[in-house]
Each structure stands twice: as structure tokens, then as C-alpha cells.
Structure 1
Amino acid sequence: MLRVLEINETQDLSYVRCNWHRLWESTPGATFFQTLEWLQIYWKHFGEGKLLRVLLVLDGERLVGVVPFVVVKEPTRLGKLRVLTYPLADWGTHFSVLAENPHETLRRALQHVQMTPRNWDMIDLRWLAEEDLEVNLTSDAMTEAGYTPNPGVWKETVFIDFEGSWDDYLRSRSPKLRSDIRRKLKKFDQPGRIHLERYRPLGKAAGDCNPRWDLYNQATSIAEKSWQGHSTTGTTISHRPIRRYIKDCHVAATELGMLDLAMLYLDCKPIGFCYNYCSDGHIFGLRRGDAPEAREHGLGTALTAILIRDSFERGDKSLDMGPGSFEAKRRWMTRIATVGRMTHYPMLAPRAQILRLKHWLQTCHDRKTGRLRTALEEKQGPL
């Protein structure tokens, strides 16, 4: 029979590090953001005012699942609501439990939440992959644990799938983009003129974990000179409030063999970067930036094209370009993926019920305007 052990301090998780990594390796599509290393870094920098609830699911003495929850106070027009959710906080686009049997693990974890004092106003499990929604994994687990799941769309993200060859991909692009790529590459893609350095260390276990601060500092410098240097969102790699977090993640990703940092040089001068995390051939694009001179020469297109071509040559599987800026990404993408959510609004929580109505009205508006008109939504019907 499965039992649950709840941990509320990240330092208390260190003793399960090896088993956590074992479950990470057995979880399809697991990302850098699901490692214990990332969770401890995230909590160190952003844990203030939040409650950590990591649920370890055991079969006897054997760890068979990890369900990292966090209770976050989120502002609404109704006041602050305590939301039980995953700890991703939009740093990535997908999150899931780590488990040999994800459905049983999540069901048992949610039963534990049901049996403990309620320190949340609403359950909102976000960043669900399309595969989760298609097989009703989270929905069924919530139902069996005694909750009423309300499916929804959290965001949408853009993917490039590296199927076939670079030439196949190029033929699938619009004539205008093909012409633009060929013209830029013909002009700049010459020995000694333009060069892409892509650093992807194997990790500490393989004795390959040089953080390459030279490349990191070049990327930060470019970000400061670009629009990112003036951004007030606090999410760019050059933004001072998150620099320590990004640097800690940089070291951890390097040691885990999950860093993918690409730097484009023109006449030996760094003019553009793509800062990514990768695992099992799947890449997540965290941030990218172009120096002013790169925009003058139109080298943003060249950087993206050379990066994609390099991924085809390496045998990568996919690149998640992230949500937002769809118009700029549309010409590169091979598909748009829904990032789902499953929400439970307690009947005895009036503010949560009002928020449920608001979410339903927003969904109706999104469908009417076509903002989130996806095949998945049409399949699921009204929320």
C-alpha cells in the first residue's frame, strides 16, 4: 500500500537525491526544472512567503514517486488567494510528477492533501503537457482523490520538431523565409566571417562541467545592450534581481549536463546568443538576445537558422521556443502546443467560486475572439 511522507524544507530532501534522480531518469520528458537541484535553487531565491509541500510517495520503504507542490499567495481583485500548485512559476512550460506510475502517484498525493488541514483556497495544477490532457491523467487522479477538476488552457507554446533533415525543414518553410535564410547564410556563413559556438557540457559525472563564464558573460553583456537591458519584467538574464538565480542555475545545469548555450560571432565579435536547457535531445529556450549590430545586419534570422541547422546535425528531437511573440516565431515553428491546467474550486470557498466564474467567462471570451481556439479546447468543450 502506498504511503506519503511530506517534506516542507528543501534541505531535508538531500537524502533522497539519488532516488529523486532515478525517478527523473524514468519519467518521459523530464526537464531541468524537475531536478532536485533546480527546486533547491528556486526555493533559495524565491521561497520567501511560500509554503513547500513535497510529497514523497513510498511503496514500503521504496520511493516510487515525487510530487512537488507549493502553496503560493496570488493577488486577485478579490484579494490574495492561497493556490496549491507546482513550483515551476513559468520558468518553463511543462511540469509533471516524477514517478514509475504517474497516475497512482498523483492520486495518492492528492488524497494526502485531502486528509490534511486545508492551507489553500484553490488547487490549480498548471503547466500540463498535451499528453497529460489527452489521457486525462491529472483529471482522473483529481477525481479519484475527491476533487472536481476543471480543465483549462494555461498558455500555448511554440515547438520546432527536428524530424527529417535540415533540407526537409527548409523546404517546409515559406518561400519568403527560405529566400531570407539563404540570402543571409550566403552573405555571412563563410569561414572566418560568422561562427556559432554551441557549448553543451556532458556534466560532472562525465568530468565535463566547465561553466564557461566567458560565454555566460558575453551573453549577459549582449542582453544588457539589447531591449532586455531596459526591460522591467525582471525575467531577462541581465536583470539584477534574478542574476544570482540564473547563475546558480547555470552552474547546476552545467554539472547535470543540461546546459545548451549558443553564441554567434561576426568577425570574432559576439553578436547574438541563445541560452537553453536540454535533456535527452529536448531543448527549452530560456532566453535569447541580439546585439544592436546584429539587428543592423539582420543576423537574428541567421542565428536562428544556424542554431536549427546545428540541432538537425546533432540529432536533437525538439526545441520549445516558449510562449508569447507568436508572430515572430510562427515562421519557424512546426507546431503550437497547449499548456494545460486542472483547477479545483472548493464549494465552501466563496472567493474561489467567484474566481471560477471569472475563469469561465474569460474562456468563453477567448473562444469567441479565437485567442485560444485550439483543437484540444474544442475537444474538451466549455470549462
Structure 2
Amino acid sequence: MKQPDLTRNGSDVATASPEPTPAQGLAVTLLTHERDFAALRTEWNPLAAAHPIASAFLRYEWADAAWQWRRQDATLALLTVRGGNGELVGVAPLVRTQDREIGLSFRRLELLSVPDNQFADILFAPDHLPAVAGAIAGWLRDNPQYWDQLTLRLLHNESPTAQTLSDALEQMGLLVVRQTNTVNYSIDLTGTWENYYRSRSRRLKKGNNLVANRLHRAGELQLTCLKGREIDEQTANIVRHLSAASWKQATGTTLDQPGPKAFFDRLFQYACQQEWLSVWLLTLDTLPVAAELQLEHKGLVHGLRSDFRTDLEALSPGTYLNWKIIEGLFDQGLKVYFLGPGENPYKRRWTDTGTPLTRLDAWSPALRGRLLRALRQWLRPTLRSARDHLQDLYHRARRL
């Protein structure tokens, strides 16, 4: 596959004292209180800006908005890494959740993220990643009572974190499994719309024309893009309403649900201060029928979420909006449009380019961690093999 060029109040958990890492002279501190999270704001963004993947998803503003959602089901578990002079050289923006697998309850540490995240990562000062990874791995080894499984999702394949942290965890004697488990599909915006659209299939173009004809027969279409401070409360309410009425209601991710609503409300507040939030709105005879929320940072555009009126599904307003958004992003000095992780069929009609995303898992040396590791290494593959064997026997018996 082609690839584009190119972060609930934890008051029930005591904050750990700094723990020096002798080999590197670094101190790791566990932060579980919201006030400590807020106190990191001025130090956080310089690390995000210096990251090899300088993404808006790594900035404090995004992490703070994501926390408004995740505080519904998780506790903060931020690991900060400081040098001898007290300077912040690394942050593992983690949360801790209670999960269950085959009847076994366990504590998972994972990156602070929400379904709208397209990338996530650990922050580190330039040239400090090996030391930061070693310090974090040492803390995890020395505090097995606090966690059972570590899961880092949405690591950009060009980020050095996955390899460096895997090596550090393995050096501490922990089992690590690293795999590419999804792709963030994208479109290169540096060319022209005409050349790009010419490369698309005849079937796609024919379908787009049919959708356009249906919608134009139904009424007058208007497409609007609002950015940053242009996004007023009325526009925000339209986005909320379209989300609440969408087919995603059953998934628990619509903006009328407590967690997603708190996330969007905080993100909307930051939109009044930043210029990286955009809303594309499609109206039919002044009636809002579809909308997409986007994040734009350093020429990279991310389609966060798109919703349309389900009672007008036969008119395909979402398809039309997607087409016109892509067309409108060309010739604007932008670099890449990311459609978001996942194998949705419509994405493959628009692009064959994507960024593989890595998932990293590790297990605590404590008892539950060892049980989970055994489940991963032995029990689950054994059960899968037994299932496949029984299915094979069944099919053979049917052929007799």
C-alpha cells in the first residue's frame, strides 16, 4: 500500500512519588489528578510540536477534550519523565480502565484517546526517546501491582515509539506483541483536482453524477465551510443534531451521549482559540442534511466525523458531501486529507494510499498479567485451532 509523504478524576488512586531511573538519571511520576494534568499544559505542547509526527492529536488541547469523554469510564494515569534539572522530557498520556476477558477482570493502561483519534503516541523531547522509553519501561516493571496489560493503539508507522518502547520493555523482561492492525487512508492534496479525479474509476464518477442529479432535483444545494472562530453556537448545534439523529446512535458515539457531548463541547471551546477546527455543512433548501467535522494542522486535514439525515438516506447526501469536500480541499495549499482509520469500502473508491497504524501490547509480571499473557500466547490459539479442527471435521462429515 502506498503511504503519504510526510492525549474521571483519579482521586481514588494516590499519586506516586518520582522514581529515579539510575541508568539515565530520569524521574518518572504517576499523575492521577486533573489538576496535575492541567498544570502540564505549558510544557506539553512544546513536546508535541517537536514530535516526529507533529499531529494535532498529540497536542494538549486534544488530550484535554478527549479526557472529557474518557473520564466517564477511566482514571488518569499520566506518566511524566523529568531530567535532573526538573525539565519535562517525556509524557506517556495514559488512562487506566477495568476490562474483562473470558471471565478475567484486569486493569489496562492505554493511551488517552477517543474514537475520533486518528493517531496517538508518547511524547518525548528530541533525542530523548530511548531514555524516556527506558524510564517508562522501568516504571512499568517496578509497579506490576498497578497494571495488568498495556495497550498502545494508533501509533503512526513512521513514529519511532513502537520499536524503541518495544525494545525497552523486552529488556525489562516483559512480553511485547506489536502488530499493524488498521490503516488511516488518505489523499494527496498537492496536485490538482482535475488530475486526481481523472485517476478515479468510471464507476465512482457515474455514481457521483447520479447522486448529484437526485439531490438537485430535490431542491437547492448549498455547501459551506466554516473555520475556527467562524464556527458559532448555531453551527455547533447543527452538528450535534445531525449526529444525534444519525445511524451511529446505537454505537454510543453520537454527540448527544454524555461522553461524546463533553468531548465536542470542550473541542468547540478550543475552536474559538485555534484555527484548526472546520465544519463542512450541506443544506438542501436551507435544511441541514449532512456535515463533517475536520481537524487541520500544518497542512494535514483529518475528517473526524461525518453525519447525515437518515430520513434522506435515499438521496445520499453523505456521499455528495464527501465528494465535494475532497474537491474543495485541492488547490488550498494543503498536503494530505486523512479519511480516518478503518476499512470502510467507500474509502477505497477514493484512494489506495494510507498510513498503517501499529498496536503495541505488553503484560505485567504480576499474576494477572501472566495469566493474560498465557491467554494470548497459548489458550486463545489453542481454542482457535480446536474450533478450526471441529469445523473441518464437520465439513468432511457433510461430504460423506
TM-score by length of 2: 0.77
* 1:143 correspondence with 2:170: yes
- For the 8 Å contact 1:237–1:287, the answer to whether it is kept is no
2:356 pairs with 1:338: yes
Preserved CA contact (<8 Å) 1:272 1:300: yes
Deviation at residue 348 of structure 1 after TM alignment: 5.0
Counterpart CA distance in 1 for 2:380 and 2:309 is 43
TM-aligned CA distance change 1:113 to 1:29, over 3 Å:
same
For structure 2, the residue ranges without an aligned partner over 5 or more in a row are 1-24, 389-400
Does the CA-based 8 Å contact 2:204-2:349 persist in structure 1? yes
CA distance in 2, matches of 1:34, 1:318: 18
Q: 1:65 aligns with which of 84, 87, 90?
A: 90
Q: 1:28 to 1:185 in 2, by over 3 A?
A: farther
**How far did 1:97 drift?**
1.5
Matched, 1:93 2:91: no
In the alignment, the residues of structure 2 paired with residue 154 and residue 45 of structure 1 have an alpha-carbon distance, to the nearest angstrom, of 24
Q: d(CA) in 2 for partners of 1:137 and 1:195?
A: 49
Q: Structure 1's 183 and 47: CA in aligned 2 closer, same or farther, altered over 3 A?
A: closer
1:354 and 1:254, CA in 2 relative to 1: closer, same or farther beyond 3 A?
farther
Partner of 1:352: 372
* Residue number in structure 1 paired with 2:158: 131
Q: Where does residue 318 of structure 1 map in the other structure?
A: 336
Aligned partner of residue 271 in structure 1, secondary structure: strand
The equivalent residue for 2:137 is 110
Q: Which runs of 5+ in 1 are unaligned?
A: 202-208, 369-383
1:1-383 to 2 correspondence within 5 Å?
1-47=25-71, 50-59=74-83, 60-99=85-124, 100-101=126-127, 102-116=129-143, 118-132=145-159, 136-182=163-209, 193-201=220-228, 209=229, 211-228=231-248, 231-239=249-257, 242-292=260-310, 294-324=312-342, 326-346=344-364, 348-349=366-367, 350-357=370-377, 361=381
Q: Which moved more, 1:273-282 or 1:216-225?
A: 216-225
Q: Deviation at 1:317? A: 2.3
CA RMSD of aligned residues (A): 3.2
In structure 1, what is the Cα distance between the partners aligned to 2:306 and 2:212? 19
The Cα shift of 1:62 comes to 2.1
**Helix, strand or coil for the counterpart of 2:61?**
helix
Shift of 1:234: 0.8
Q: Percent identity?
A: 23
1-side partners of 2:381 and 2:271: how far apart? 41
- CA–CA separation in structure 2 for the residues paired with 1:169 and 1:94: 26
Pick closer, same or farther for the CA change 1:345–1:162 going to 2, 3 Å: same
Query: For the residues of structure 1 that align with 2:174 and 2:278, how far apart are their CA atoms?
Result: 40
TM superposition shift of 1:360:
6.7
Shift of 1:235: 0.4
Structure 1 CA distance for aligned equivalents of residues 295 and 43 of structure 2? 22
SS state at 1:313 partner:
coil
Q: Distance in 2 between matches of 1:296 and 1:218?
A: 21
3-state DSSP of counterpart to 2:185: strand
List per-residue Cα deviations over 1:285-331 (Å, max 9, x = no partner).
22211225753333333211110111112222223322346223221
| Structure-2 change in CA distance of 1:198 and 1:58 (3 Å) | same
Q: Please name the residue that 1:372 is paired with.
A: none
Q: Distance in 2 between matches of 1:186 and 1:81?
A: 54
Contact 1:133 1:340 in 2 (8 A): no
Distance 1:58 1:28, change over 3 A: same
Cα deviation, residue 33, structure 1: 3.7
The offset of 1:247, in angstroms, is 1.6
CA distance in 1, matches of 2:115, 2:310: 28
SS at match of 1:232: helix
Residue 294 and residue 280 in structure 1: after superposition, are their counterparts in 2 closer, same or farther (change >3 A)? Answer: farther
Provide the aligned length of Structure 1 versus Structure 2: 356
Give, in whole Å, the separation in 1 of the partners of 2:210 and 2:351.
20
Tell me: CA distance 1:93–1:188, structure 2 relative to 1, closer, same or farther (3 Å): same
- For structure 1, which segment, 237-246 or 261-270, has the greater mean C-alpha deviation from structure 2 after superposition? 237-246
Whether the 8 Å contact between 2:244 and 2:254 is mirrored in structure 1 is no
The CA distance in 2 between the partners of 1:241 and 1:85, in whole Å, is: 17
Report what 2:5 is aligned to. Answer: none
Q: Quick check: 1:194–1:266 contact (8 Å CA) kept in 2?
A: yes
Taking structure 1 as the reference length, the TM-score comes to 0.80
